[in-house]
Structure 1
């Protein structure tokens, strides 16, 4: 038996990938909704809509990369189901079946962080800009 064989259960890295796979579609949904709201309520909407469109392109590329990586690693993630408490998905990892749950409070905070990241307004950018203003 080879010692280089991947374990049946997901590694910590793979669990992070599954979490990301659940969160990124939600980021896209929020971006789509916000684009619609901005389009209907802002006079000069083009800069905002373009920034969100670029962010959505980056999210979509990352989702495609996750799907490719899942195929390479023998992982199949089934669509997340919204529950009263959060999001749950089932996954198959090299024959190992399990579920993954994220609570709504966690989802909201994590989606917001990712939105800031993809829009280029994550904390490091804000802090460095704030320091320069002093």
Structure 2
């Protein structure tokens, strides 16, 4: 509470239109300077999705270790290559966000929605993702990584 609160003398003061416009422009510039771009929002979303994908791959690796599949070794090697690629992408993404002065932290889980808080150049916002959406994003990312492995194997096969 300031000294002017409750002081009736200040209620009738007029503000020139041009001063109000200048003030509004300054406020817009201040708020826009810290807001993340759409590319940065995609990076934040990927930063949220990739750890879940790494956890899923690790679980699959543990399950494969105890399975009795004939080509178990091939599947395990492919999963390891995918996990290393995801981990590399995760750390590159984390480093890029740090350079752009963006931090992401876990907030809470509520009714099937995972909430994260991100801080972007002085701007603070909450980001929520529904579990089903997270699952579909994980599936899309995993498909992308497996397709990359398939392309890599095709290139190696053509080189021989």
Q: Same fold (TM over 0.5)?
A: yes
Distance 1:80 1:35 in 2: 29
Cα 1:51–1:73 shift into 2, 3 Å: same
Per-residue Cα deviation, 1:76-104 (whole angstroms, up to 9, x for no partner): 11136444322211110000011111111
Unaligned stretches of 5+ residues in structure 1:
126-134
Kept in 2, the 8 Å contact 1:52–1:119? The answer is: no
Unaligned stretches of 5+ residues in structure 2:
1-28, 152-160
SS of equivalent to 2:36:
coil
Greater relative CO (CA pairs within 8 A, separation 6+): 1
Question: Residue 90 of structure 2 aligns with which residue?
Answer: 63
The two structures, once aligned, show a CA RMSD in angstroms of: 2.1
Cα 1:95–1:23 shift into 2, 3 Å: same
Aligned residues: 119
SS of equivalent to 2:84:
helix
TM-score by length of structure 2 reads 0.68
Matched, 1:84 2:111: yes
Greater helix share, structure number: 2
Question: Residue 14 of structure 1 aligns with which residue?
Answer: 40
- Tell me how far 1:121 sits from its aligned partner: 6.9
- Tell me how far 1:117 sits from its aligned partner: 1.4
Distance 1:11 1:113 in 2: 22
Matched, 1:41 2:52: no
